[in-house]
Amino acid sequence: MKKIVSLLLLVMFLLLAACSSDGSSTTSSSDGNDSNSNQSNDNDGGSEPTKLTVWSFVETYSDYYKYKAEEWNKEYPDRQIELQAELLPFSDMWKKLTLSLQSGKGAPDLVDIEVQKFANYLQGDTQLAPLNDIINPDDYIESRLNLYAKDGNYYGAPNNLASSVMFYNMDIMDEAGVHPDDIETWDDFVEAGKTVKETTGKPMFTVPTSDPVLFQELILQRGSDLFDEEGNVTITNQTNIDMLQFLHDSVYKDEIAIPSPGGGPTEESYFGFMNNNGVAANLMPEWYIDRFLNYMPDLEDKILIRPMPTCSDADCYTSVGIGGTGTAVIKQSEHVELAKEFLQYTKTTKESVLGIYTHMGKIPPMHVYDNEVFNETTKFTEFFLNENVFDVIEVATETVIAPNVPEDYPKGVSAIQDAIFNVIQNNNMTPEEALQLAEEDVKNQSSSN
């Protein structure tokens, strides 16, 4: 009997020990998971991949992040990430991002923010994490990096130089008997446009009515802007009036331009219009290069890239930097440090921005232009008629000027879009009237009021 009791006690002891062991194991596993989720310690020791989410509105950017995530996982097998790259429509992006930041739920770890929208997310207590620890400002073209800076902090990593160039359709230009190399000034451009219209019936260029890109290119080239360096509104200055008048005259007086189909150069209907040999020339930043490959494939071996025409009546810059995107890390992220490290790996080192050039055709916003990669043939350079696309852009790499972007910049852009629409599309206001109304709107909505 004693032996039986002893045996039963032994069995109970073993069962209790096993239960205690299971409980200890569960607690240890839980603690380990919590530790692995903390910022830069994510995935140390070969645990499950850490999920990171990045939002973008450009397909090529989204694809590039996926590619870099694969490269990261090869290079850091003990710190795997599972990247969810979400591609959102441009108009929906900002509503969704703003709502997620305000609610504190559903925001991504990283996000591409277009420069026209960026200042909105720097107001008040910003929800963007400073990137000073992964950005060396000495590496960058200053005008590009400053677009995403405030009070000594950098909140966005720029994607490209965004230097403006002219894209000429040589099928149309050849038919008209006009060569882009004979166009030096804007006066030359207008005269060439008259010849193109007379001989081919096609417009020399189009004027965007839902995007201020062309208007801003013209005023920046002449040293003007929507705001001065102190953030004061300067919309109604004479240069701005003259440039909007130039666009109006090109459409309604000289008849060498038309309002852009679809409203802007990045709309699907506009891509179709261009792809069908709809227009002779298009002034756009160099980031437009990949749009040809992705959305206008029939223009391969038809497009010649040349610098912006210069000013015949005033001093002006050789190029300007318009548009662009800054990639930011959201403070709400549970993996802020890992997100920063991935962003650094993706686009804030010289090596990574050269990768952006080879994979996306974007000219880097860094001092890397002596690298041999710019002499190599890529799918982007092969598409165009240029012997070397970079040769055209190189002259602007150190002097490219960018707009001033105070907190009211998004309001200024919106007001200018309305002004351009009224003058070009509706043709119901003079440039001076439209710009005066735009300036009043910005002042009435100003964050400084």
Q: Which of 20-29, 240-249, 255-264 has the lowest mean pLDDT?
A: 20-29
Residue-averaged pLDDT of the chain: 89
Superfamily of domain 164-322+382-445 in the CATH hierarchy: Periplasmic binding protein-like II (3.40.190.10)
Model confidence at 17: pLDDT above 90: no
Q: Give the DSSP letter of residue 155.
A: -
Q: What is the pLDDT of residue 36?
A: 34
Model confidence at 397: pLDDT above 60: yes
pLDDT band, residue 394 (cuts 50/70/90) = confident
For residue 13, count other CB atoms closer than 10 A to its CB.
Answer: 10
Q: What is the pLDDT of residue 355?
A: 93
269's tokens: 């209907």
Q: What is the pLDDT of residue 43?
A: 61
Half-sphere exposure of residue 156, counting CA atoms within 13 Å on the CB side? 28
Q: What is the pLDDT of residue 46?
A: 54
Q: What is the pLDDT of residue 266?
A: 94
Average pLDDT over residues 373-389: 90
Model confidence at 209: pLDDT above 80: yes
Model confidence at 93: pLDDT above 50: yes
What SS3 class is residue 446? coil
The string over 295-318, giving b where at least 16 C-beta atoms fall within 10 Å of a residue's C-beta and e elsewhere, is bbeebeebbbbbbbbbbeeeebbe
Spatial CB neighbours of 208, under 8 Å, sequence gap ≥ 6: 214, 215, 259, 260, 263, 264, 265, 420
Q: Which residue has the higher pLDDT, 7 or 67?
A: 67
Q: What percent of the chain has pLDDT over 70?
A: 88
Q: What is the pLDDT of residue 255?
A: 98
Q: What is the pLDDT of residue 386?
A: 87
Q: Helices 238-252 and 431-445 sit at what angle, rounded to 10 degrees?
A: 130
Q: How buried is 359 (Cβ within 10 angstroms: 0-12 exposed, 13-18 middle, 19+ buried)?
A: middle
Greatest mean pLDDT among 340-344, 358-362, 371-375 lies in 340-344
The answer to whether the CB of 448 falls within 8 A of the CB of 267 is no
The span from the CA of 299 to the CA of 319, in Å, is 24
Half-sphere exposure of residue 383, counting CA atoms within 13 Å on the CB side? 21
Q: What are phi and psi of 311, to 5 degrees?
A: -95, 135
H helices of 276-309, in order, are: 289-295
User: How long, in residues, is the chain?
Assistant: 449
Q: Which residue has the higher pLDDT, 447 or 73?
A: 73
Q: How buried is 428 (Cβ within 10 angstroms: 0-12 exposed, 13-18 middle, 19+ buried)?
A: exposed
pLDDT in tens, 404-440: 999 999 999 999 999 999 999 999 999 999 999 999 9
Q: What is the pLDDT of residue 319?
A: 85
Model confidence at 79: pLDDT above 80: yes
The span from the CA of 121 to the CA of 117, in Å, is 8
One DSSP character per residue, 73-114 reads: HHH-TTS-EEEEEEE--HHHHHHHHHHHHHHTSS--SEEEEE
Model confidence at 72: pLDDT above 80: yes
Of 343, 344, 374, nearest to 361 (Cα)?
A: 374
Residue intervals in the chain for CATH 3.40.190.10: 50-160+324-368, 164-322+382-445
Out of 1.20.910.10, 3.30.70.890, 3.40.50.920, 3.40.190.10, which CATH number does the structure's domain 50-160+324-368 have? Answer: 3.40.190.10
Model confidence at 90: pLDDT above 80: yes
Q: What is the pLDDT of residue 260?
A: 98
What SS3 class is residue 116? helix
The answer to whether the CB of 94 falls within 8 A of the CB of 117 is yes
Q: What is the pLDDT of residue 315?
A: 82
Q: Which residue has the higher pLDDT, 288 or 398?
A: 288
* DSSP strand pairing (257-259 vs 205-207): parallel
pLDDT band, residue 193 (cuts 50/70/90) = very high
Model confidence at 211: pLDDT above 80: yes
The answer to whether the CB of 214 falls within 8 A of the CB of 339 is no
The span from the CA of 431 to the CA of 244, in Å, is 6
